[in-house]
Chain A
Amino acid sequence: MASALLNPNESRGHFVWVFLALAVATAILPAFVYPLFLMKMMCFAMFAIGFNLLLGYCGLLSLGHAAFFGAGGYTAAFVAASWGLSPEAAVLFGTLAGLILGVAFGLLAIRRHGIYMTMVTLGLAQMVYFIVLQSPYSGAEDGIQGVPRGTLFGLFDLRSDMTLYVVVSVVFMLVLLGSYRLTYSPFGQVLRAVRDSESRATSLGLNVRTIKLTVFAISATISGLAGSMKAIIFQIATLVDVHLTTSGEVVLMTLIGGVGTVLGPVVGAAVLVTSQNYLAGFGQWVTFIQGFIFVVLVLAFREGIVGLLIRLWRRPL
């Protein structure tokens, strides 16, 4: 994969600055940019962070991540709208849905290697799509609408966009920090060992199956979290969330930002969500442009934006 550039022994000191800068930016930006738009960006960034753990650090390409994202969204939306659960409980349920589905997918997918595994994730996700489409609880083509945002811990009224923005920002920063801690932990090192050579990892006595299953579950859990946050923010869960196009978009975000870098998914999500917003007037041609970007990235720009910066600055990001 793109980045054997990451060396965990290098100075991590400047990561503190990167996170601080990001935290400051998150605090200042709503003064200039529509908060809902920023929240959307952060949701997709979390989704891409989850996806990147699997592809970037373990070399496993899933084309079924929309299933986790969408299952999280639908579950959170359903328990909040139908059972009237509080937002924190709804997000917890959504995240759990991601975890459970992730373990189920993982158990099946890791029985195959490389692109075979990818096709298995695709098939499973398509099955989830059809189940959601036909389920009596999911509102078919309409999705689940009018999801109440509720009151967080009975204290903070999330109907206010700014209150919700603060909550989403905190969750987002925690996920980012968590993913950073994870990738630079011994487990992160083990993931890279599996990515770089599975047979070598096995011969070193690592249990490759357990490692793959674990990273699959973590990745799906974060995706479920991202999906359920999105459902609460936009008060809706729709078929698009579980559709193949969403699985493709998260791949695209990660590729644009830089596969196997901590900040890549965040940058990629920001770029893609922003460009989709500005290109919305082009209708169908947005998809064409996305396809074109895929082709260009794969042919000429495999390291992505952050990967390029890492090469120029010789520092991990």
Chain B
Amino acid sequence: MESISVQILAGQLLIGLINGSFYAILSLGLAIIFGLLNVVNFAHGALYMLGGMCAWMLMTYAGIGYWWALIIAPLVVGAFGIVLERALLARLRDVDHIYGLLLTFGVALMLQSLFQGIYGSAGMPYAIPGELKGGWNLGFIFLPKYRAWIIGVSVVICFGTWYAIEKTRLGSYLRATTENPELVESFGINVQVLIALTFGVGTGLAALAGVLAAPVYSVSPQMGVELLTVVFAIVVIGGMGSVLGAILGGFSLGIIEGLTKVVYPEASSVVVFVVMILVIMTRPAGLFGKH
């Protein structure tokens, strides 16, 4: 333990913070979708992958670069999410919630194997945009610009979404819809449109995380698979449907994971689940859960 240098500690902290940024955006999307539709979106990892793939395809086939991909990919995947909700999930509103989970599980399998069938399993590189190449030497650590950018974007996106849900009028409609959709409908608000749009925003967030991740990890059809189970564990820790729980849970578990890598590397892939067990034993509803 005494041999751990400041550089290694800071380096793992940074990696943890970056992973935490992805965890936060993904669990935020899950929390929004769960809060309004009561659907555990198992396709979330596949939609994250779709975001990364979309950026890669835009670059490879159309020469469209990172900055446009950052906007186009979430829109495309968000539109896909809306179609998914309208065409399939809307039919399951009245049956056991389990079926929504199983349906999205099926969709995830289809999406992943579709891309794996076409592009194989190998990762495909995606270049960091020129503006974000290089970095700053902070003395104790070299901070690449792109990594700082990820953390910045994700903080802005997360707290922007939190603000929109908790502090604006649209957000209050959303929250009212989760409590009593009939009542909100009677105020002349089209709940079906609201639900579809929210699902679109949730899936768009997953895609955004995918585009942000593309230059860091290479793009591959499986990039969402193992990430998803970690994100689910984080959502259990934060408290299902809690927006703040998802954001804070995402960042802090990324950091905890990074620190574990310094102290006891073998445990780093398990630590999130250990925290999940501890939280369930002490606060079954999750840290920010209401019930």
Chain B: CB-nearest residue to A131: B270
CA distance A9 to B280 in the complex (A): 40
The answer to whether B99 has its CB under 8 Å from any CB of chain A is yes
Q: Mark the stretch among B110-118, B196-204, B255-263 that contacts chain A.
A: B110-118
CA distance A302 to B101 in the complex (A): 14
In the complex, are the beta carbons of A294 and B277 less than 8 A apart?
no
**B residues 108-132 in Cβ contact with A at 8 Å:** 108-114, 116-117
CA distance A295 to B100 in the complex (A): 10
In the complex, are the beta carbons of A122 and B232 less than 8 A apart?
yes
Chain B, residues 200-229, CB within 8 Å of chain A (1/0): the string is 000000000000000000000000011001
Q: Mark the stretch among A107-115, A150-158, A271-279 that contacts chain B.
A: A107-115
CA distance A14 to B281 in the complex (A): 46
The answer to whether B170 has its CB under 8 Å from any CB of chain A is no
Interface size on A, residues (CB 8 A): 40
**A116-B240, A118-B40 given as contacts; is B99 within 8 A of A302 (CB)?**
yes
**B residues 79-117 in Cβ contact with A at 8 Å:** 88, 91-92, 95-99, 101-103, 105-114, 116-117
Contacts of B232 in A (CB 8 A): 119, 122-123
**B residues 52-95 in Cβ contact with A at 8 Å:** 88, 91-92, 95
Contacts of B117 in A (CB 8 A): 283-285, 288
In the complex, are the beta carbons of B109 and A127 less than 8 A apart?
no
Contacts of A126 in B (CB 8 A): 226, 229-230, 233, 273
Contacts of B107 in A (CB 8 A): 291, 295
**B residues 263-279 in Cβ contact with A at 8 Å:** 266, 269-270, 272-274, 276-277
CA distance A295 to B40 in the complex (A): 15
Nearest CB on A from B201, distance (A) = 21
CA distance A201 to B279 in the complex (A): 27
Chain B: CB-nearest residue to A255: B102
In the complex, are the beta carbons of A248 and B276 less than 8 A apart?
no
In the complex, are the beta carbons of A127 and B102 less than 8 A apart?
no
In the complex, are the beta carbons of B108 and A291 less than 8 A apart?
yes
In the complex, are the beta carbons of A302 and B110 less than 8 A apart?
no
Chain A: CB-nearest residue to B46: A291
A interface secondary structure, majority? helix
The answer to whether A1 has its CB under 8 Å from any CB of chain B is yes
In the complex, are the beta carbons of A123 and B110 less than 8 A apart?
no
In the complex, are the beta carbons of A118 and B101 less than 8 A apart?
yes
In the complex, are the beta carbons of B277 and A124 less than 8 A apart?
yes
Which among A123, A286, A287, A293 has the highest number of chain B CB atoms within 10 Å?
A: A123
CA distance A116 to B236 in the complex (A): 7
In the complex, are the beta carbons of A291 and B110 less than 8 A apart?
yes
In the complex, are the beta carbons of A288 and B97 less than 8 A apart?
no
In the complex, are the beta carbons of B109 and A298 less than 8 A apart?
no
In the complex, are the beta carbons of B88 and A61 less than 8 A apart?
no
**A residues 236-295 in Cβ contact with B at 8 Å:** 244, 248, 251, 255, 283-288, 290-295
In the complex, are the beta carbons of A119 and B113 less than 8 A apart?
no
The answer to whether A85 has its CB under 8 Å from any CB of chain B is no
In the complex, are the beta carbons of B273 and A299 less than 8 A apart?
no
CA distance A108 to B237 in the complex (A): 13
**B112 touches which of A116, A287, A292, A299 (Cβ 8 Å):** A287
Nearest CB on B from A122, distance (A) = 6
CA distance A111 to B289 in the complex (A): 14
CA distance A294 to B42 in the complex (A): 13
The answer to whether A134 has its CB under 8 Å from any CB of chain B is yes
The answer to whether A90 has its CB under 8 Å from any CB of chain B is no
CA distance A292 to B233 in the complex (A): 26
Nearest CB on B from A48, distance (A) = 15
**A61-B98, A115-B40, A118-B40 given as contacts; is B233 within 8 A of A294 (CB)?**
no
CA distance A122 to B109 in the complex (A): 16
11 examples of A-B residue contacts, CB within 8 angstroms? A112-B236, A115-B101, A119-B233, A131-B270, A134-B266, A134-B269, A284-B117, A286-B113, A291-B113, A293-B106, A302-B95
Interface residues of B (CB under 8 A from A): 38, 40, 88, 91-92, 95-99, 101-103, 105-114, 116-117, 225-226, 229-230, 232-233, 235-236, 240, 266, 269-270, 272-274, 276-277, 280-281, 284
